[in-house]
Homo-oligomer: A and B are copies of this chain.
Amino acid sequence: MAHVANDDPTSPVQRERRTRILDATIALASQGGFDAVQMRTVAEQADVALGTLYRYFPSKIHLLVSALGREFERADAAMADNPVPGDTQADRVNHVLNRLTRGLQDDQHLTEALTRAFMFADRSARQEIQGVGQLLVRMLTRAMRPGATASDEDRAIARVIGDVWLAALMAWVNGRSSAEETSAHMERAVRLVLR
């Protein structure tokens, strides 16, 4: 107990297990959405015992929100490399949102699984949810002020836009609005808030 041999409590083997689990989650979600992500199936496909899966992710919701977090981290890293095109704040923010939206709308099942998990999550997944929210705000504020640090006001605006984006995504996933309506709604919201 007193001797900590390693700062990082996870060994390479464990990191690789975690990756396998998240990969299996994404694959199953892409294939059949939220319902297809069954804990027994994830465990089997990741070649891991059910108990081990639960040791890594304490619930299905944690698992799916963590998967969403990994996807967002990838998107964030990809967008951090080259600057967002566009002349105005609204243009750049819309570009980021369109990129995120398109990436998701190409895979409706995956989107449905990740969105619903995010929406359904309760306090126990607070940390994971907060991580996803911060990534979203980070991507949006970077589009608003490339290269500069964002003010509190900027972050509040980004959060509003993120809220609307999530709601719009949910409406799309639930078949209440088409892809066109969704992006129109988003652009209108961005135009309203960023002016």
Contact = CB atoms under 8 A, between A and B. Distances in A.
Nearest to A157: B192
Copies in the complex: 2
Contact of A116 (B120, B157, B174): B120
Contacts of A173: 122-123
A156 B191 CA distance: 12
Interface stretch (A72-80, A87-95, A163-171): A163-171
Interface of A: 34, 112, 116, 119-123, 125-126, 129-130, 133, 156-157, 159-160, 162-164, 166-168, 170, 173-176, 185, 188-189, 192-193
Contacts of A170: 119
Nearest to A192: B193
A126 B164 contact: no
A167 B163 contact: yes
16 contacts: A34-B122, A116-B120, A121-B174, A122-B173, A123-B173, A123-B174, A125-B174, A126-B175, A129-B176, A160-B192, A162-B167, A163-B163, A163-B189, A164-B167, A192-B192, A193-B193
Nearest to A175: B123
B174 A164 contact: no
A126 B163 contact: no
